[in-house]
Structure 1
Amino acid sequence: MLLDTPFEWLKAHSPAWGESTGFFDHKIHVLVVFLPVAFALGLAEVIGHLHISPWIILFVPIVALVPIANCISASTDVANEKLKINGHPTLGMLLNVTFANVVEIIVALIALFVQKDEVIALYSLIGSWISNYFLLMGVVAVICSFKGCTFRGMNETTAQTHTLLLLLASAGYMLASALPFFPIHTRIVTAQLFLGVAIMFVVLYAVFVLGFQLRTHEAMAEDQPSSFREGSRERKVSTAVKQDKAPDHANLSVAVLFMAATTLLKSVGISKIFFALIILPVFGNLFEHWTAITAALKGNLTGAFNVAAGSALQIAMGVLPLLIIISHASGKHLDMAFDVSQAAVILSGTVIIGFAFSDSRTHWLEGLVILFISMLSALLAWFQIA
């Protein structure tokens, strides 16, 4: 059952199975074979009968997540196209951003409630924020400049609004991370402050989505990208949105991933912070990266920015604060504070992006500067111990 279920699910739930729909087409679906392999390796690791390199056990479940995320992305694109045709582009954009973050959400939930590892739960989401906003926007600007793309220019309202909210989120997390250095710092006061800030962020994000994006400024999503190639609307699609089994298969890969991570961190000496902040988000955000880069190569900088900033904003003001609220309700008290140097990098990086895109245009040097922000974060994480 375990061996054939992933293939049956993939064939039933992936749009246009067997026909080419772009770079991430049916050819990548063969990677689903890594799902039962990941389970077998994880079982062997638990039993202890096989002595397998932790690097192999780490690599296999990461690869297994790729076709799962692809199916989620492709199915979401079908619904996205239908929503755009029916005059609801913003709803399509929100759906795209939400399902793009499914893997990261699963990782954080398993880390917090199954593995009981607050460091990975917190830093995996912070890493998704950094990966989606700084790494992705830097790569988009650099690649497009060297490819000779002509930017149409971003929607000024889109750029300013996302940057403003991310700047607020950055300041909030920066203050939370610096709180232990203040005289008022006590465990009870800190927990209450974290909970209060988290509730404020969730409320503000809800107002932004329900009031701003869906009502007063719905036109901002007109340039949102789709990972399908031109002309794909006419293709026959087997299903619109059938992601019901995707989280189950992703859970399996993530569980094995945590087993491998535990062994790898002990044997190789990689810090838990570096693993959660850098390694996990690179693979978890693969399809947001591809969609944004594809949009930018077509000169759609607004679309690329919507994917990168929209996903980062949902993590910073939606997913992470909501996880903090849930953890407090369950008695776990997940901290909002993380390393103050990382918080400073995020805050300063958000300010830099605000300056870079203030004229609604960009070039390769600005992209390189933004890219170096993510590199600085990776360098700091490499020397951190957790």
Structure 2
Amino acid sequence: MSLKSIFSFKNLIFIGFLVFIPISLTAYFLKWGSLAVFLTAGLGIIPLAAWMGVATEEIAGVAGPSLGGLLNATFGNATELIIALVALNAGLIDVVKASLTGSIISNLLLVMGFAMLLGGLRYKEQEFQSVVARVNASSMNLAVIALLLPTAVDYTSDGIDEATIQTLSVAVAVVLILVYGLSLLFSMQTHTYLYEVGIAESENEDRTAETLAEGLTEEVSAPRPDLWVWVGVLLVSTLLVAIESELLVGTLEEATARLGLTALFTGVILLPVVGNAAEHATAVTVALKNKMDLSVSVAVGSSMQIALFVAPVLVIVGWFLGKPMDLDFNPFELVAVAVSVLIANSISSDGRSNWLEGALLLATYTVLGLAFYFHPVIEGIG
């Protein structure tokens, strides 16, 4: 990564947000109050998530396409996974479930909505691979079914115990992880050509720019990114995210109560916005460059990873830790996820997007956000 790209406007914002890390630690040790710790820790996680993403991309560039793709697929939602693991360990099961459904909703509606809206205002119509969109739609439909069935079993059975639901959830989680592995095999091995269109266009643009610029030889012979430096950045960022997540989760209940918010609204709306901030910026940036293939891939791919990998991993980890984590979700959350997947699949099925479709996604997210805000407190949730 060049100095110019590091100090771009977007990255300068993330660098500026790093100041909230020492502020949050100071607020914790000097006992400034739960609300101050909660807000500053949340803001501190945003730049760390961005640097984790940058480090993963740089390591992937050195490691090669196969290993690099696996790294991106594994660490793409590391921030959300870390926050969820901390909350799971603290016994905040309902907050974990809410953050999972919220991440899916946020990526499909908020991230993709802003990308299509702003990209559509700059370009009349943008295109992306419709075949990939259909494959992603099928995967998301499977995720909805997998989340729906354990809840349906619970609601249609009399006297079913929690252990049975958790055992069912673990079995479903194993199937989802296998499907996630198959999707990686599909995208990185057997059908890579479907996913390389946007990358190839980007590389052609870069080559054209290099040809027009002076000093082509120096550019080509520039040293590759230092692998160990970026590994260090990834490790330090991961450690700091874990620390900030402890502060965030530790003050969540008291802080949200002072703000007049339920844990349901916090988990579904606030936490995913914090965890998805870096992906949001990336999706919008590439959409403004008319690289809608990559933008949709970031938004939908992140939702797929949450549904097919992060949620199943949390179920299995909860099983090992003795925590009652399962796939029996709040029905209202499932309705929100189903609605999000339905409209996202409908809009992306033709492989074209415009500003109005982006506005429709954002309007749907706004309506769901209002519904979660006014949703009454439920036992175990608020």
Matched residue type, 1:79: I
Match of 1:7 in 2: none
**Equivalent in the alignment of 1:167:** 141
Is 2:248 aligned against 1:257? yes
Distance 1:311 1:376, change over 3 A: same
Picking from 88, 100, 125, the partner of 1:125 is 100
Partner of 1:332: 323
Q: Which residue of 1 aligns with 2:22?
A: 36
Aligned partner of 2:367 among 362, 367, 376: 376
Residue equivalent to 1:57: 37
Per the TM alignment, residue 258 of structure 1 is displaced from its structure 2 partner at its CA by 2.0
CA displacement, residues 108-147 of structure 1 (integer Å, 9 cap, x when unaligned): 010111x221112221122111111221111111112222
Moved more, 121-130 or 215-224: 215-224
The answer for the alignment partner of 1:212 in structure 2 is 186
1:106 matched to 2:89? The reply is no
The answer for unaligned runs of 5 or more in structure 2 is 211-218
1:192 aligns with 2:183: no
TM-score in terms of structure 1 length? 0.84
Instruction: Quote how far apart the aligned CAs of 1:262 are.
Output: 2.4
Amino acid at match of 2:339: S
Counterpart for residue 257 of structure 2: 266
1:76 is matched with which residue: 56, 61, 77? 56
Deviation of residue 42 (structure 1)?
1.4
- Gap runs ≥5 in structure 1: 1-14
Give the Å deviation of 1:341: 2.0
Q: Which has the higher contact order (CA 8 A, sep 6+)?
A: 2
CA separation of 1:251 and 1:18: change in aligned 2, threshold 3 A: farther
The one-letter code sitting in structure 2 at the alignment partner of 1:109 is L
Preserved contact between residue 93 and residue 324 of structure 2 (Cα < 8 Å): no
Mapped to 1, the partners of 2:322 and 2:356 lie a distance apart of 47
Question: The residue matched to 2:10 in structure 1 has which SS?
Answer: coil
Contact 1:57 1:260 in 2 (8 A): yes
* Structure 2 residue 314 is the aligned partner of structure 1 residue 323: yes
Deviates more, 1:164-173 or 1:234-243: 234-243
SS in 2 for 1:365: helix
Deviation at 1:252, TM superposition (A): 1.6
Determine the structure 2 residue equivalent to 1:11.
none
SS at match of 1:24: helix
In structure 2, relative to structure 1, the CA distance for the partners of 1:203 and 1:38 (3 Å cut) is same
Q: Which amino acid aligns with 1:357?
A: S
For residue 276 of structure 2, what is the amino acid of its counterpart?
N
Contact 1:273 1:384 in 2 (8 A): no
8 Å Cα contact 1:156/1:360 also seen in 2: yes
Kindly indicate whether the alpha-carbon contact (under 8 Å) linking 1:171 and 1:347 is maintained by their aligned counterparts in 2: no
Give the CA deviation at 1:82.
4.1
Alpha-carbon offset, residue 185 of structure 1: 5.5
Q: Which SS does the other structure have where 1:351 is aligned?
A: helix
Deviation at 1:311, TM superposition (A): 0.9
Aligned residue number for residue 247 of structure 1:
238
Q: Percent identity?
A: 25
8 Å Cα contact 1:64/1:253 also seen in 2? yes
Give the superposition deviation at 1:165.
0.4
Q: Residue 179 of structure 1 corresponds to which residue in structure 2?
A: 153
Give SS of 1:244's match: helix
CA RMSD of superposed structures (Å): 2.7
How many angstroms apart in 2 are the aligned matches of 1:70 and 1:170? 28
Residue 107 of structure 1 deviates from its aligned partner by: 0.3
Q: SS in structure 2 opposite 1:67?
A: helix
Give, in angstroms, the shift of residue 19 of structure 1.
7.1
Deviation at 1:21, TM superposition (A): 4.2
Query: C-alpha distance in 2, partners of 1:61/1:345?
Result: 27
- Give the secondary-structure state (helix, strand or coil) at the position aligned to 2:240: helix
| Counterpart-to-counterpart distance in 2, 1:157 and 1:103 | 29
The amino acid that maps onto 1:198 is A
The one of 349, 371, 380 equivalent to 2:340 is 349
- 1:24-60 CA-to-partner distances (Å, cap 9, x unmatched) read 3356424323222211211233xxxx5x4x4432221
Distance of 1:373 and 1:98 partners within structure 2: 29
In structure 2, C-alpha distance between the alignment counterparts of 1:317 and 1:198, rounded to whole Å? 8
Partner Cα separation in structure 2 for residue 161 and residue 150 of structure 1: 22
C-alpha distance in structure 2 between counterparts of 1:18 and 1:296, whole Å = 20
